[in-house]
Amino acid sequence: VLFGAVGLGMGVSSANPGPWEQCRSENGTEIACDKGLVCVPDVEYYGLCYTEVVGESEQCGGLGWNVSCVNGTTCERQNEGWASCQSTADARGPGAEWQQCDPEDSGNLCADSLICVDDDDYHGICVRQVAE
């Protein structure tokens, strides 16, 4: 049975919220998520339950996020509101044409005959070098 909680703006139940369920109300009141989940602020006032450990290519960071990546991956910032778990394997090798690279990181290079060109504030793209 769900009851409307006065002043909370959310239902109250004996079970903790599960994946993708609301865990934080407009007034900031937070309810603990089920085991293995963490409450992540979603928009300005609300929060939703997400897994504490996420897999490769899944969101791990951004505004208000506090989750971890699975072993073999690290959380890499893509922009102000988004970071994702990326492989830490050394076997990735040099980037192919049009593949993402990091112009600030000498360890994240492009294949021969390609250069890493700034695409925005956080990424670069491997492109063919044009003769001048």
So what's the pLDDT on residue 26? Answer: 85
**How confident is the model at residue 21, as a pLDDT?**
92
Output b/e per residue, 49-58; b: 16+ Cβ within 10 A. bbeeebeeeb
26 φ, ψ to 5°?
-60, -35
Percentage of the chain with pLDDT > 70? 79
Specify the residue for token string 């492109």: 127
pLDDT tens, residue by residue, 71-93: 878 888 888 788 888 887 644 56
Task: Check whether 2 has a pLDDT greater than 60.
Answer: no
| Residue 4 pLDDT | 37
Task: Pick the closest to residue 23 from 1, 4, 44, 41 (CA basis).
Answer: 41
Q: What percent of the chain has pLDDT over 90?
A: 8
Q: Span 101-130, mean pLDDT?
A: 76
Give the pairing of strands 53-54 and 68-69: parallel
Domains defined along the chain, listed by start: 3-51 (no CATH), 52-92 (4.10.40), 93-132 (4.10.40)
Q: Decide if pLDDT at 68 tops 80.
A: yes
Q: How does pLDDT run across 24-60, given as a tens digit for each residue?
A: 988 888 999 998 888 888 777 788 898 888 888 888 8
Residue 11, CB-side half-sphere exposure with 13 Å CA sphere: 10
Structure-block tokens of residue 57: 């290519």
Task: Using alpha carbons, list the distances in angstroms from residue 75 to 42, 94, 113, 122.
Answer: 19, 20, 30, 14
Residue-level pLDDT at 92: 54
